């Protein structure tokens, strides 16, 4: 992808020795601040804390690690600083749940304690071995040069229903080291393993060779002695591949597949988190098991302009197969967009996005994501708006709900596309286009959508909106979540996130949108989850009962709110 001109890339040392994005001098992501790693706030600020997105009661979190469902319990591990609200002192925190929404924290599962992870325990995955139980694979740091190795941990007592304690046996650890020709300081984040009929387990490890992102493949018969394949399963000129994920999806239906599933009725997904852009990209393609090669479809661009899970603040994601409901579930981390000083004052930093079900779209060209159905259990008071026409300049309040903590589903329709603006073929970067044509810029069909976390007089608002353009052979649909007007506070990272939506408007003449609004996060799903954007925002006026929600239209073509349902959301029980 081509980065917006308003973004500058600069190198920083981060949790994965990463590159961060800067906007007007404000940190979009994180650096290391040794003198602040153990600074704990006297009290925790609740002003922008989320009500139903996962976050622990205090302190810093980042990557979701090793999610799994085992013996009736969901487990989520995550990178966590137990001593402060900036990155540092990282351990694998551990929370459990029966429903993916309400969570109870247990003691940390993994923390630096052995020579093979003395300098850090970084991200990884969980694999459930048939008849034996779960094993965690993670990246350990063995020295001050950041040499990275792959390690394993297992439950101390497999009969414990909550798997409270984990041990790291000395035998076989570390199980994978960077061999000849592998960059040992860029070698991390092992995937969930899959089993093949040839009697081998397989995993991928993310890496970099010069400017190429690499997914190295390793095989093992016993899960402890691993051998690297002669060639990576795939690579591309993108920069470092972090947090790779590799899994099958069914060609038909919404059911998920076990990670070991292969066959003629599946495609495979290869996802990587790109160190250079701090966005995630995936391709759909074919896995040739006999050659251990993955080849993306010709409809999946293999680079910075490729498909993304989310076009906003969403990174280091990890999926798992949930056998209790035959679905694949995706977790992703959303960092703060304020400053380190703000994080220290409020006493916390980082959330996890709402867990999402993932399946293949009927076109076969992309994935679809949708909040897990359990989230609906938090819905309380419902309000409706049906067949309400929005003329140019209208903004109508959706009243009767807690607008700072809400779930909104809306379908927009229009009678004609004749007024759609002409699409310029040079507009290949959705984020740039959103910056150029924001919610206040009058168009033909659009902009129209929601004004979330809005103050009464619109001094602050976060618009989530569609805009439609006419290309020679189709209509182009843009979905934006624009944080530039989200807060009166100036020293914030407030980007105009955006993505294009693959939809045949001639056939439907409708567009749907769902937005999960939760105090400092607006997580939106366009057209049933085809294009998704998570934004972090920090309003100063539009907080708690002072927050408002509007539907709006700033295009010349009238838009109809065909059907809108909005709910106040209860807070999840997260302790």
At 273-325, the pLDDT tens digits run 998 899 999 999 999 999 999 999 999 999 899 999 999 999 999 999 999 99
pLDDT of residue 452: 98
* Domain ranges in the chain with CATH number 2.115.10.20: 8-371
CA distance 398 to 420: 27
* Domain ranges in the chain with CATH number 2.60.120.560: 379-569
Which residues neighbour 415 within 8 Å (Cβ) at sequence distance 6 or greater?
509, 558, 560
**Residue whose tokens read 């002669």:** 230
Edge-to-edge order in the sheet of strand 59-70 = 104-110, 91-97, 73-80, 59-70, 348-349
Q: What is the mean pLDDT of residues 62-69?
A: 98
CA distance 339 to 351: 15
pLDDT of residue 24: 31
CA distance 105 to 411: 38
Mean pLDDT over the full length of the chain? 93
Is the separation of the CB atoms in 180 and 172 below 8 Å?
no
CA distance 140 to 477: 44
Q: Kindly state the DSSP code that residue 470 receives in the 8-state scheme.
A: E
**Residue 10: pLDDT over 50:** no
Q: What is the mean pLDDT of residues 342-368?
A: 96
Is the separation of the CB atoms in 275 and 242 below 8 Å?
yes
CA distance 565 to 525: 15
Q: What is the mean pLDDT of residues 123-141?
A: 97
pLDDT of residue 11: 29
Give me the percent of the chain exceeding a pLDDT of 90: 89
CA distance 36 to 135: 33
The dihedral region occupied by 278, where left means phi > 0, alpha psi between -120 and 50, and beta the remainder, is: left
Residue of 454, 452, 443 whose CA lies nearest to 477: 443
Tell me the HSE value of 305 on the side-chain side, using a 13 A CA sphere.
8
Alpha carbon dihedral 392, 501, 486, 86, in 10-degree steps, equals 180
Residue-wise burial string across 152-178, b where 16 or more C-beta atoms lie within 10 A, e elsewhere: bbbbeeeeeeebeebebeeeebbbbbb
pLDDT of residue 486: 98
Q: Read off the tokens for 51.
A: 């009500």
Give Cα separations from 100 to 104, 155, 280, 481 (angstroms).
Answer: 11, 21, 23, 26
Residue 218 has φ and ψ, to the nearest 5°, of -125, 145
Residue-wise burial string across 294-315, b where 16 or more C-beta atoms lie within 10 A, e elsewhere: bbbeeebebebebbbbbbbbbb
Give Cα separations from 398 to 52, 428, 492 (angstroms).
Answer: 21, 34, 28
CA distance 17 to 239: 13
What does the pLDDT look like over 480-523, one tens digit per residue? Answer: 999 999 999 998 999 999 999 999 998 889 999 999 999 999 99
For residue 57, the tally of other CB atoms under 10 A from its CB is: 11
3-class SS at 485?
helix
Q: Which of 7-11, 172-176, 243-247 has the lowest mean pLDDT?
A: 7-11
CA distance 483 to 543: 15
Q: What pTM, to 2 d.p., does this model score?
A: 0.93
pLDDT of residue 5: 28
CA distance 66 to 76: 7
Name the CATH superfamily for 379-569.
Exo-inulinase; domain 1 (2.60.120.560)
Is the separation of the CB atoms in 390 and 551 below 8 Å?
yes
Q: Strand 348-349 relative to strand 59-70: parallel, antiparallel, unpaired?
A: parallel
pLDDT of residue 44: 84
Which residues neighbour 175 within 8 Å (Cβ) at sequence distance 6 or greater?
137, 150, 151, 152, 224, 225, 226
Residues marked as catalytic: 63
Q: What is the 3-state secondary structure (H, E, C) of 77-95?
A: EEEECCCCCCCCCCEEEEE
CATH number of 8-371: 2.115.10.20
3-class SS at 201?
strand
For residue 108, the tally of other CB atoms under 10 A from its CB is: 16
């Amino acid at each position: 992808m081509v980065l917006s001109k308003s973004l500058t890339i600069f190198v920083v040392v981060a949790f994965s020795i990463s590159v961060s994005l800067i906007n007007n001098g404000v940190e979009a992501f994180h650096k290391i601040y040794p003198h602040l790693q153990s600074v704990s706030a006297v009290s925790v600020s609740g002003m922008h804390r989320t009500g139903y997105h996962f976050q622990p009661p205090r302190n810093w979190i980042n990557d979701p690690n090793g999610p799994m469902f085992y013996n009736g319990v969901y487990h989520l591990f995550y990178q966590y600083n137990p001593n402060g609200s900036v990155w540092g002192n990282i351990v694998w925190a551990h929370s459990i749940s029966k429903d993916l929404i309400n969570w109870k924290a247990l003691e940390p599962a993994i923390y630096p304690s052995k020579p093979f992870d003395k300098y850090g325990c970084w991200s990884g995955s969980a694999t459930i071995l048939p008849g034996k139980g779960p094993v965690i694979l993670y990246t350990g740091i063995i020295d001050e040069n950041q040499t990275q190795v792959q390690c394993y941990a297992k439950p101390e007592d497999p009969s414990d229903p909550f798997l409270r304690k984990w041990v790291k046996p000395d035998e076989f650890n570390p199980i994978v080291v960077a061999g000849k020709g592998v960059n040992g300081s860029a070698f991390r984040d092992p995937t969930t393993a899959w089993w093949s009929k040839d009697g081998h387990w397989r995993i991928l490890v993310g890496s970099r060779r010069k400017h190429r992102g690499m997914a190295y493949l390793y095989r093992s018969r016993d899960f402890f002695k691993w051998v690297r394949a002669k060639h990576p399963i795939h690579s591309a000129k993108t920069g470092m591949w972090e947090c790779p994920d590799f899994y099958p999806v069914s060609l038909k239906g919404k059911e998920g597949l076990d990670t070991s599933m292969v066959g003629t009725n599946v495609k495979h997904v290869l996802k990587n988190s790109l160190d250079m852009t701090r966005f995630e990209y995936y391709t759909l393609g074919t896995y040739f098991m006999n050659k251990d090669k993955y080849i993306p479809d010709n409809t999946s661009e293999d680079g910075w302009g490729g498909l993304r899970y989310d076009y906003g603040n969403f990174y280091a994601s990890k999926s798992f197969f949930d056998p209790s409901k035959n679905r694949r579930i995706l977790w992703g981390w959303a960092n703060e967009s304020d400053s380190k000083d703000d994080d220290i004052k409020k006493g916390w930093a980082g959330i996890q996005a709402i867990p999402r079900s993932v399946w293949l779209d009927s076109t076969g060209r992309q994935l679809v994501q949708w909040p897990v159905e359990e989230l609906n259990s938090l819905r309380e008071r419902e309000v409706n708006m049906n067949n309400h026409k929005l003329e140019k300049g209208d903004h109508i309040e959706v009243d009767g709900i807690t607008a700072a903590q809400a779930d909104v589903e809306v379908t927009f329709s229009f009678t004609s596309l004749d007024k759609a603006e002409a699409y310029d073929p040079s507009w290949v970067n959705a984020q740039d286009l959103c910056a150029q044509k924001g919610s206040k810029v009058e168009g033909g069909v659009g902009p129209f959508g929601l004004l979330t976390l809005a103050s009464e007089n619109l001094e602050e608002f976060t618009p989530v909106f569609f805009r439609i353009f006419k290309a020679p052979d189709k209509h182009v649909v843009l979905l934006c979540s624009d944080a530039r007007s989200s807060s009166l506070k100036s020293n914030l990272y407030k980007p105009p996130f955006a993505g294009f939506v693959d939809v045949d408007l001639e056939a439907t003449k409708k567009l749907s949108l769902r937005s999960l609004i939760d105090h400092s996060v607006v997580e939106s799903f366009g057209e049933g989850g085809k294009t998704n954007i998570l934004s972090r925002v920090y309003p100063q006026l539009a907080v708690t009962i002072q927050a408002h929600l509007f539907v709006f239209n700033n295009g010349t073509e009238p838009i109809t709110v065909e059907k809108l349902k909005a709910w106040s959301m209860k807070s999840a029980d997260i302790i």
